[in-house]
Each structure stands twice: as structure tokens, then as C-alpha cells.
Amino acid sequence: MDEHIDVLKSRMEEDSFQRLMALQNPSLHRFLARYAELCNPDKIVVLDDSPEAYQWMREEAVRRGEERPIGLDGQTIHYDGYFDQARDKKQTKYLLPPDVDYGAQLNSTDREEGLREIHEILAGIMVGHTLYVRFYTLGPQGSIFSISCVQLTDSSYVAHSENILYRPGYEQFRSLGASQDYFRFVHSEGELKNAVSINIDKRRVYIDLQENIVYSTNTQYAGNTVGLKKLAMRLAIKRSASEDWLTEHMFVMGVHGPAGRTTYLTGAFPSACGKTSTSMLPGESIIGDDIAYLRLIDGRVRAVNVETGIFGIIRDVNEKDDPVIFKVLTFPGEAIFSNILVTEDNTPRWLGDDRPEPTHGHNHSGEWQPSKKDAAGNVITMSHKNARYTIPIARLSNRDPMADDPRGVPIGGLIYGGRDSDTTVPVEQAFDWDHGIITKAASLESETTAATLGQEGVRRFNLMSILDFLSYPMGEYIENNLRFGHAMDTPPLIFAVNYFLKGPEGQYLNGMLDKRVWVQWMERRIHGEFRARRSPTGLIPLYEDLKELFAIYLGHDYTLEEYNEQFKIRIPELLAKVERIEKVYAAEKNIPTALFDALRTQRERLEELQKKHGDYMLPESLPVEDA
């Protein structure tokens, strides 16, 4: 028997060992043995796809104290450390050879130095812990989209979360045989105190694209630890670039138009910009809320949801604005809450849930009351601004019946949206594929929120909402997106949305559910049923069409005054945006010349309009184009 098999057998009970040996994959055995020796867990547990294994993992998370039951049957609460409640962008790095340069926007370090450091941190890190070995599939099983994965983690919370978020993969892994074509993830929560990671100074998230391995240490927050989420996304982005398909930070949803018609849209939004709430709109159907794979099949774009669950921001989820999610979170069924408040009667509560604020409770800071402050004198809110929930999509009443189709669903339109208080209109269609990829997708900006560490309210460039996860140079990525559209006879339409435009008094100009009108307008545009006004930056709705949609879908008497304020062309702000985007790309290498040409042309159109109409222009002066 090989030496690595001896290592594994000595640390496993017989049933786990037999499950591992049933996967006749020597590279998997060597990989697991290497990190078993390095991390030195007390015990290794290998789990398969059975319901019993999933139930055991739920119970293990409670036994280990990483979750505790609360509220209704199936609900648990998990707390991350006080300083471990967002993605650590600074310490998330690609491990690159010395001769590889991904540009200033992508965080990287020398591969050999990074591997040396991460292995030093991992040495002995799991002493006293159990190592859980889990197998999952990204995308539908047995599909052209699917990718096999193995997760090593000593966090029962991480393993339980992944059981909710991803399709089981043990049986698909069995079919791999000796293939090394799978993604690998190594995570340790490190030393714990009161069931939370404490060595935050040694928090690291390192991605080795050469070996398809992601390392994550001394953190529990799911954005840093759930390997198959944004960490696997980085690996898949790299793979898809070499195979002529796309990995995107996108939801997939069905919009239900007239006469029983369903049109599928994808959408890319940075965190806390309305991505999940758009995918969950009442009256529409959801396939996925976060990550999509897009492929050309028979000349048409089709997409799948990589996941089967949702790790969503819970702030402002309430019965009025997010009724589908709110119902799931307030009825019995499997749900993991993280970093929210639990009241004395064991009820989960969070910011923006539209219920009276409690006077006492327990949250990520310990025992809580409204006047509590942290060591720096800052008031501690009842739940963290980036508090989350993890639920199976199958619990949603509006889950689309095509959600698990191995061929995916045909895509009619792509949406790009950010958090923008003063520049872009609520909804706009690009002139064509190239114009959309360059001026909507590759020019995306968003004002920062609590979803990432650092200052809030700062306008940040975020290429296609994927900049944090991009795993090869930006210029190549833009070129690949352009080429992807060129391979189609009729590419999907591209739209941009902005739910966060504010008026002169600082008030939001749209309600939370107005986005339903925007997606219904897109649906009609895709099918050639609505005309549009041509602005310098894209095609915007006619007032009479929006008035009709607001009446049908929201029962709202939409006024011309509302329309004019929302769709006013803000030329100085739009010119400033063009200048910012040009400056970003001027600092990068090998950016396609088509990008600079499109931005220059857009600037010229804005300047021409400015000469004729001044800085601000009402939409009624714009020409109307046929559908």
C-alpha cells in the first residue's frame, strides 16, 4: 500500500476510508494525504451524497458550537468574529510566477513565496480539529457546464453552508476515475475562541491558478471560506477563458411577459446593489442569484446557475420589499443566519426588517442593547450591516422550473447595475453588443457598502462586477466578452440599471419594487414591442410605456414629473464618468483599442448635446426610435 494511503487510513474510521477508496483517483488521495500531514487534524471524515451525510453535517455544526438552533425548526445562527465579517480583499491574492503580470487592478504575490507562507500557516493548524472532506458539483450534474470539486475544511459551518449552496458531487467524482480535472479547496478556521477565529492577522485567501487550488486560513466568514463560491469563481473564470465560454458574477431569472411568455435575463451587480432582490422580484422566477456559466449552444447563449442556494445580505429584507425571501426566513425550514441579533425569545432580527427594534438580545458583539458601543466608541447596530442568510433555492416559491436543466436556459438580455447616486438613469439599453460590453459592463462603477472591508460610500470602478474575482488580465477579459458576442448571429440585448439615483434633497428617486417595471420594459424591448428614446449613452424608455407598466405591475400612477427627474440626462456627471473610466484603462496594459474608441465617441456625443441643450436635458427632447 502506498505511503499516502497509510497516512489516510491512520486518520479515518473505516467507513470514511472506504468512501475515499471508492473514488479511484490517485491524485485525490495524494492531495488529501499531503494536507492531512501538513494540517495534522485529529480525525478525517469523508462524506458522500446521502441524506444521512447531509443530516450528520447539520448536527455536527451544532455539536461543534459553530451554529446553534434558534427560532423555528431548521433555523440556526452562526457568528463570525467581530473583525471577520466581510471579504478580505487585501489578503486575497493570486499566486503568480515572476514572469506573469495581471495588471495593477488584480492583487497578486509571487507564487513560490505565497506557497511557502500559506504552508507555514497551515502547518499544524488543525490540531484538535476534525477535517471534513466534501464533494460538490458546480453547475447541473452530468452537464457540459458541470465542474467537480473537493473541499477540505475543519469548519462544520463551512461544510454545512456548502451542503445548502451546491449540488452534491460524490457520485460525479466517482465517474472521474483517475482524472485530475477538478477544483481543490483547503480551508482552516484556525484557532478558535468562543467558536470564532481569532488569528485574524494570519487570515489569508490565496489562489493558485496553476494547480486549481484555493487556500483560506484563519477566517470563518463565508465570503472568504466557502470555497465553491467566489473562490471557485476565480478558477472557473480562468478556465472559461481558455475554452471560449464565460464565468460571470450574474443572477439568472425568468421575466414573465404577456401571453405566458418567459424571457430569461442575467444580471451582474456588485454586493449590496440590488442583485439578489432583482432575481427575487415578485411575479418573476429565479434560477440563481449570484454566479452563472454562459455557453454558446447551437448558436445561442445559454446559462446555468452554478449554485443551488443563496448566501444573501439580510439587511433591509422585509415583508413589503422582499416578500418571497422574507417568507422563507420567517417560516420553518433550513436556514443559517449569520451575524444577526437573536432576541431573548430566540427570534432572529436584523436591520431593516420593518419590525419594532428590540431592547435586548445577543449578536456578534455578545449581549446587546441599543446603546451599546464598541471599543472605538462606535454604536453597535443590532445586526451587522453585512449580516447574511443561507438558504436552499428550492425553498423559494418562485423558483423557475428550468433551474436544473443541464442545457441551461436561453438568454435574451444581460443587465449590469451599480450603486450610483448622481449620474446614470434607472434603466437604459446599449446600442449594440460592443457598446454594451464597453460602456455598460466594462465601465461599471459602484459606491461601496459594508460588504467589503474599508470605507463606505466611495465610488469604485468594478469591471462587470467581477473585478474582485478576475483571474487574468482585464484587457483579455474584455476582448473575450466582445468575441463571445461576435460568435452569435443575434446577441442578447445589454442593459444598465441604477436603483440608487437620488434627487436634490438626497432622497432616492425610485422605490424598492420599481425594478420590476425596469425588467418588464427590458422584456418588451427584447421582443421588439416598445420603442425607445436615443440618448448619447443608450436607449431609454418612453414615458407612456413606463406609465402603463407602473399601473399594471405596481398599481402606481407614474407621473411625468417622476419620469423627467429620473431620466434627465446629466451631462457633466456623465462626462466625468467617461473621464474616470478612461483614466482607469490608461493605466492598464493591452486594453483593446475598441474600448478607447467607444468611450471617445460617447464623450463626443455628450459634448455635442451639451452645446445644444446645456448641462441637463429632459428626455422629451431626445429622438424616438422604432422597436
List, by residue number, the catalytic residues: 273
Task: Please state, in angstroms and rounded to a whole number, the distance separating the CA atoms of residues 236 and 297.
Answer: 18
Asked if 273 and 421 touch (Cβ cutoff 8 Å), the reply is no
Q: How many residues are present in the chain?
A: 627
Strand partners, 293: 247, 304
- C-alpha dihedral over 256, 166, 246, 254, to 10 degrees? 0
Task: Please state, in angstroms and rounded to a whole number, the distance separating the CA atoms of residues 393 and 276.
Answer: 12
Nearest to 386 by CA among 79, 162, 71: 79
Where does residue 590 rank: exposed (0-12), middle (13-18), buried (19+ CB within 10 A)?
A: exposed
For residue 168, what is its C-alpha cell? Answer: 452534491
Nearest to 534 by CA among 622, 620, 427: 622
Residue 349 is inside which H or E element, if any?
Answer: strand 348-349
**Main-chain dihedrals φ then ψ at residue 58, nearest 5 degrees:** -60, -45
**Main-chain dihedrals φ then ψ at residue 569, nearest 5 degrees:** -85, 115
Task: Please state, in angstroms and rounded to a whole number, the distance separating the CA atoms of residues 308 and 64.
Answer: 25
Asked if 384 and 339 touch (Cβ cutoff 8 Å), the reply is yes
Nearest to 150 by CA among 227, 222, 94: 227
Task: Please state, in angstroms and rounded to a whole number, the distance separating the CA atoms of residues 421 and 457.
Answer: 10
